[in-house]
């Protein structure tokens, strides 16, 4: 599996304040800004950083981790490799999550940390602020429930 970028999703109290801080830290503007959400698509370091406005509370600032790959075939290859290793995965295809259409799999590490392997099918146009037909999934805005294998098993990414 060739990896495009590491993905890190953080819960933040104030997405505007955090976005401004990360813009200064990385020296580049956010790739995408939406109400309660922003992301950075960095080449150096190779990182897709998402900021979700949500009080971290007891769950801490980590929302989830992931690996952004180039294609659905790479998502499928990761699923096959993980399941061959005896790990439980959950698949989602053509879901709208975090303002983008995605194909993905979810898995949890031994401590319950959610990981996704995903590919972007298309992103919502940055100029379109209407968000018509696009729902922000709770996997993008809330802590993932401990009982779920994947945050979107409950249908939050429909």
At residue 91, the pLDDT reads 94
Buried b vs exposed e over 35-47: b needs ≥16 C-beta within 10 Å? Answer: eebbbbbbeeeee
pLDDT at 136 over 80: no
Local confidence band at 130 (pLDDT 50, 70, 90 cut-offs)? very low
Placement of tokens 């690996």 in the chain: 67
Local confidence band at 3 (pLDDT 50, 70, 90 cut-offs)? low
For the residues 104-124, what does the mean pLDDT come to? Answer: 87
Query: Hey, what domains does the chain have and what are their CATH numbers?
Result: 3-154 (3.10.180.10)
Whole-number average pLDDT of the chain: 78
Q: Average the pLDDT over each of 64-73, 91-100, 120-129 and give the range with the smallest value.
A: 120-129
End-to-end Cα distance, the chain: 27
Cβ–Cβ < 8 Å for 7, 51: no
Give the Cα separation of 124 and 99 in Å (integer). Answer: 6
Neighbours of 157 (CB within 10 A): 22
At residue 124, the pLDDT reads 61
Local confidence band at 55 (pLDDT 50, 70, 90 cut-offs)? confident
pTM: 0.68
pLDDT at 103 over 50: yes
């Amino acid at each position: 599996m060739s990896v495009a970028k590491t993905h890190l999703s953080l819960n933040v109290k104030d997405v505007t304040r955090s976005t401004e801080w990360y813009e200064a830290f990385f020296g580049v503007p956010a790739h995408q800004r939406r109400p309660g959400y922003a992301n950075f698509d960095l080449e150096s370091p190779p990182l897709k950083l998402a900021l979700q406005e949500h009080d971290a509370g007891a769950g801490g600032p980590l929302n989830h981790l992931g690996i952004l790959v180039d294609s659905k075939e790479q998502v499928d290859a990761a699923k096959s490799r993980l399941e061959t290793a005896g790990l439980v995965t959950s698949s989602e295809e053509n879901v709208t999550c975090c303002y983008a259409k995605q194909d993905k799999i979810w898995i949890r590490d031994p401590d319950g940390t959610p990981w996704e392997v995903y590919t972007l099918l298309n992103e919502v146009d940055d100029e379109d602020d209407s968000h018509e037909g696009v729902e922000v999934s709770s996997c993008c805005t809330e802590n993932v429930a401990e009982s779920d294998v994947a945050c979107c098993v409950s249908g939050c990414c429909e």
